[in-house]
Amino acid sequence: MKHDPATLEIIRRRLEGIAEEMQGIMLRSAVSPIVREANDASASIFLPDGTVMAQSVSLPLLLGCLLPAVQRLLKQFPVESMAPGDIFAMNDPYDGGTHIPDLSLMMPVFVDGQVVALAGTIFHHQDMGGLTPGSVPTNATEIFHEGLRLPPLRLGRDGVVDEQILRIIGVNIRTADAFEWDLNAQIAACRAAVTRLQELAARHGAAPLTAMMRELVDRAEAATRAAIRAMPDGRWVYEDALDNDGVVLDQPVPLRVTVTVRDDTITLDFTGTSPQVKGPVNAVPAGVMAGAYFAIRAVTGHDIPNNGGCFRPLAVILPEGSLLNPRAPAAVNARTGTVKLLTNAVLGALAQAMPDRIPAANSGVSVVMALSGRDDNGAAFVVTEALQGGSGGSAERPGVNCVSTDIGNTMNQPAEAMEMDAPVRVHRLAVRRGSGGPGLHPGGCGTIREYEVLKGPLTLTFRGERHFHPARGAAGGGDGRMSEAHVLRADGRREEIRSKLSTVLQTGDRLVMATAGAGGWGTPE
């Protein structure tokens, strides 16, 4: 049965509105700066079989990673075994997760004794244990260095979290109070979705609502396949490289993708990418698929409903034991830079076929900087900042300065928030003028940040990219300027940061970070 298009559009918008409400609840309720200020969380609604139905406008990386997490939770806990008020959670990168700080949480939506939908959230928690505060050690060489892994588990019943599980988590992390508060923000978001979806089912009927949701998925698939058929058939290759793996600092890590478009399907083959590495830049398939999903959505059009039907025409080949499909117990906490690079590589390959539709390379950086220490009362604190670069110039316009691109969508930390949460003074927050690649439409510029430590010691974890390999221009445009960073010690010594670093900062030390610019498009006038 085909439904009225107007009614379908209303249902689609209503579902997207519910996902947005979930997102807003998390951002307003979180205490950790990485979510409260940077918005590092996402929310989605799923059909009972795990097909994503609606997503918040948030981080493509987390939205994509939530999909396999929900599928894994359903495998462990089939809908037939669920009860109203159940809370399910997991974060294990080798069992459906992405990296340890990202906790996925799911609640079922019951109507007339049947599960009609699932509400899911994914949230970057400030600390989950491990070698360094923030759980993103750049020198990790195995997953056991990175924090507490939670397999798929029933976290609570009747809407109440299991206190035994919460106590186990609390004694293994540095900021237990913040974790519990942020966990409640995730749960509150899911509870709101349960209520809203039950209201929607009461208005339209559970069976008709389910039928309309499935029709929306089928329509998205048909529209995506039509968009792919409009592309030229062919096969294109793109290669790039990470600066290093965070442990072996003088060795780049190559990444290669072959993109094949044939009729109404797209295949991404990452054969030729580096084998898994010693450091933590390996990316488990959940993160890789998030980048692949983003690339597909970027080239098929924003007017197609954003649900699981969009991803059915996509096939991805990930050689086992590679950088993008590592074997346990490889370290994986720094996978963001890897996923950003592979996303740019997919788009770079397709740009060879459609140069007027796809911009030059984005900066490809999401510098993650974590500062941690203890306050005057001896309580541990962790403050994380994500620094952005620029977006690539395109056939239509110049790139954008200081923006989180592609699979990222995080905000910067306001200077006032950073100074409130950590004993630092922000001396500079500026556009890095001239860092975008030259061109008819220049690439977007990166950013510069400078912090002074007012009271040490503070542990610094710095995870950068593009210090040795620039973002490439397109259609005759120039490459973007590469990243730079250094620590200026209080005694005048200058220590260069070669892309990744873990160290201790003392009172009076200054940290200066300059992110990469994006590629320019077209020959400069």
284 within some domain: no
**Are the CB atoms for 473 and 437 separated by under 8 Å?**
yes
Domain span at residue 178 reads 5-221
The residue from 221, 236, 257 where one domain ends is 221
pLDDT in tens, the chain (525 residues): 678 889 999 999 999 999 999 999 999 999 998 899 989 999 999 999 999 999 999 999 999 999 999 999 999 999 999 999 999 999 999 999 999 999 999 999 999 999 999 999 999 999 999 998 889 899 999 999 999 999 999 999 999 999 999 999 999 999 999 999 999 999 999 999 999 999 999 999 999 999 999 999 999 999 999 999 999 999 999 999 999 999 998 899 999 999 999 999 999 999 999 999 999 999 999 999 999 999 999 999 878 988 999 999 999 999 999 999 999 999 999 999 999 999 999 999 999 999 999 999 999 888 888 899 998 888 888 888 889 999 999 999 999 999 999 998 888 888 998 999 999 999 999 999 999 999 999 999 999 999 999 999 999 999 999 999 999 999 999 999 999 999 999 999 999 998 999 999 999 999 999 999 999 999 987
322 within some domain: no
455 within some domain: yes
**Are the CB atoms for 132 and 502 separated by under 8 Å?**
yes
Tokens 């911009």 correspond to what residue?
Answer: 359
For residue 390, the number of C-alpha atoms closer than 13 Å in the C-beta half-sphere is: 42
Q: Which two tokens stand for residue 483?
A: 């990243």
Closest C-alpha to 389, from 243, 515, 241: 515
Q: What is the pTM of this model?
A: 0.95
User: Across-strand partners of 134?
Assistant: none
Is omega for the bond preceding 68 within 30 degrees of 0, making it cis? Answer: no
User: Across-strand partners of 268?
Assistant: 259, 316
451 within some domain: yes
The residue from 221, 254, 274 where one domain ends is 221
Closest C-alpha to 134, from 502, 516, 509, 500: 502
**Are the CB atoms for 182 and 30 separated by under 8 Å?**
yes
**Are the CB atoms for 48 and 107 separated by under 8 Å?**
no
Neighbours of 302 (CB within 10 A): 7
- Strand 367-374 and strand 52-55: the pairing is unpaired
379 backbone dihedrals φ, ψ, rounded to 5°: -80, 140
CA dihedral 310, 347, 445, 279 (to 10 degrees): 90
* Whole-angstrom distance, CA of residue 312 vs CA of residue 297: 12
271 within some domain: no
* Whole-angstrom distance, CA of residue 146 vs CA of residue 292: 25
323 backbone dihedrals φ, ψ, rounded to 5°: -55, -30
Residue 352 has what pLDDT?
95
Neighbours of 327 (CB within 10 A): 11
Q: Which two tokens stand for residue 328?
A: 């346990």
The residue from 205, 221, 237 where one domain ends is 221
Q: How many domains does the chain have?
A: 2
240 within some domain: no
Q: For residues 477-513, b (16+ Cβ closer than 10 Å) or e, as one string?
A: bbbbbbbbbbbbeeeeeeeebebbbbeebeeebbbbb
472 within some domain: yes
Backbone φ/ψ region at 276: left (φ over 0), alpha (ψ -120 to 50), beta: beta
269 within some domain: no
Q: Is the dihedral of CA 467, 482, 383, 287 positive or negative?
A: negative
Is omega for the bond preceding 457 within 30 degrees of 0, making it cis? Answer: yes
* Whole-angstrom distance, CA of residue 258 vs CA of residue 273: 10
* Whole-angstrom distance, CA of residue 390 vs CA of residue 387: 10
